[in-house]
């Protein structure tokens, strides 16, 4: 790692740490920049996942029966949509589909826990 470059932010930050300008990894010249960019993306992903799981809590509250939590048709559609969006953006569709399968399964498990907590 480059000496003294542990925490280089490759982008200008906006309000509350959110970045207003897109990153351009092609302009990076150091691994510190790459790592800072990845760390920023990870923070944003975690924030989005927290929002996604809040939606799972809402679903658990709204669904009338626990059997409605798992919906294989919806799962397949969500994964297909993620794959298509990834491919449209030039990202590896298979890798995104694999991640989304795990994300949806984790979401279902969380929603079931919340359903049981709220209605059990």
Domain-ending residue, one of 62, 88, 104: 62
Domain-ending residue, one of 43, 62, 81: 62
Q: Are residues 53 and 15 in the same domain?
A: yes
Binding residues: 35, 52, 63, 111
Report the SS3 class of residue 68.
helix
pLDDT in tens, 22-53: 679 999 999 999 999 999 999 999 999 999 99
Containing domain of residue 35, as a range? 1-62
List the structure tokens of 72.
Answer: 């294989």
Give how far Cα 52 sits from Cα of 13, 25, 43, 115, Å: 24, 27, 14, 16
With CA atoms as reference, report the closest residue to 23 among 5, 45, 6, 40: 40
Q: Are residues 116 and 80 in the same domain?
A: yes
Q: Are residues 3 and 50 in the same domain?
A: yes
Q: Are residues 92 and 116 in the same domain?
A: yes
Binding residues for substrate: 35, 52, 63, 111
pLDDT in tens, 75-101: 999 999 999 999 999 999 999 999 999
Long-range contacts of 83-86 (CB under 8 A, 24+ apart): none
């Amino acid at each position: 790692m480059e000496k003294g470059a542990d925490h280089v932010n490759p982008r200008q930050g906006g309000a509350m740490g959110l970045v207003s300008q897109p990153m351009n990894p092609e302009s990076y010249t150091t691994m510190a920049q790459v790592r800072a960019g990845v760390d920023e993306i990870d923070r944003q992903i975690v924030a989005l996942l927290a929002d996604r799981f809040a939606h799972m809590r809402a679903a658990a509250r709204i669904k009338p029966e626990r059997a409605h939590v798992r919906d294989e048709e919806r799962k397949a559609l969500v994964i297909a949509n993620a794959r298509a969006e990834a491919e449209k953006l030039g990202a590896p569709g298979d890798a995104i589909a694999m991640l989304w399968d795990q994300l949806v399964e984790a979401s279902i498990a969380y929603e079931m826990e919340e359903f049981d907590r709220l209605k059990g």
